[in-house]
Chain A
């Protein structure tokens, strides 16, 4: 398996000083995707920003996994609505 763009979960947890169980919980709640190869677990580097954000939610702001799930959902909805606003603004310019 090519591991160029994959981040090893154990190593990541050591660097960030967090429990592996936290990453497992994120996976169990469908917040991130984990890939397994033999004994090791990895996540794609594309998800790094997201994982770091969840870490900040949990460890800096004391938000539990259920809270993170809600926040993530609401942030996604906000982003979708902002896209819709941008698209509607463009459409509105047709009538200005």
Chain B
């Protein structure tokens, strides 16, 4: 557990007045407030530190204790004993607090010295909605193409969610009420899950459409024929028309990725032919090609 220099956190010196502290806090809070920096962990951490510094320095009693024992916080208990001889200071203070905070929002140093969040900023029994949680869930490509259930553990609570087929990489879904617990009977926050879907070695996905590149034998490309290719739901036979050019694209309707939350609807599969030039030709084959080139 390390000492936290709250003056340094707020960028003020020890002689700062209550007004200076308020101004410094507001300035930094405007920069790092989680509402202004969504999904930014660093900003959240900074904000918690600023909040903690403000919690201590804006309260004359806490500031006194901090100034006296800050660096020697282990000896703070002595201070507490002295306090017993004094009158309890009134906790009545300002009306608003800085929004929902849990004990976990304070550093070990703060918890050790002040025993968690004080009642000073929690005087009112205001109902606060719990904090929203954000999580990332990794899915295999093939898992994302079928509706399935997954069990997750969020903050010690096990929840079972249904992941609809067709979920996109980077898509976020909201699980209502599975975020942080509400404060003073307020509603729970929500859980936001962002999906990270692994790439497939063969298929490339863009929205609901799939793209695949198929090597096509030169002779089939020239003379036409039949090939078998893999799709998400098995193999399909394709007729290749004679004189197919390199880079030709064909569309297989309904053979793409399932459309999110639309049962039975699928995107398309686009197949691009890459004509392979034969190698290691025999003398006879070379002769035939030469003959062809002259014809």
Contact = CB atoms under 8 A, between A and B. Distances in A.
Interface string A7-18: 000000001110
B170 A90 contact: yes
A90 B95 CA distance: 48
B170 A86 contact: yes
A91 B206 contact: yes
Nearest to A96: B199
Chain B contact-residue range equals: 20 to 34
A90 B206 contact: yes
Nearest to B200: A93
Interface in B12-58: 26, 29-30, 33, 35-36, 38
Nearest to B29: A61
Contact of A16 (B26, B29, B126, B205): B126
A14 B38 CA distance: 28
B170 A60 contact: no
B158 to A, nearest CB: 25
Given A17-B124, A71-B36, A90-B206, A60 B169 contact: no
Interface of A: 15-17, 48-49, 52-53, 56-57, 59-63, 71, 75, 78-79, 86-87, 89-91, 93-94, 96
Interface of B: 26, 29-30, 33, 35-36, 38, 95-96, 98-99, 124, 126-127, 129, 168-171, 199, 204-207, 211
Q: Give me the 8 closest cross-chain CB pairs, A-B, nearest first.
A: A86-B170, A94-B204, A53-B35, A61-B30, A59-B96, A90-B169, A56-B99, A60-B98
Given A15-B126, A90-B168, 16 more contacts: A16-B126, A17-B96, A52-B129, A56-B35, A57-B35, A60-B29, A60-B96, A63-B30, A75-B36, A75-B38, A78-B38, A86-B170, A87-B170, A90-B206, A93-B199, A94-B211
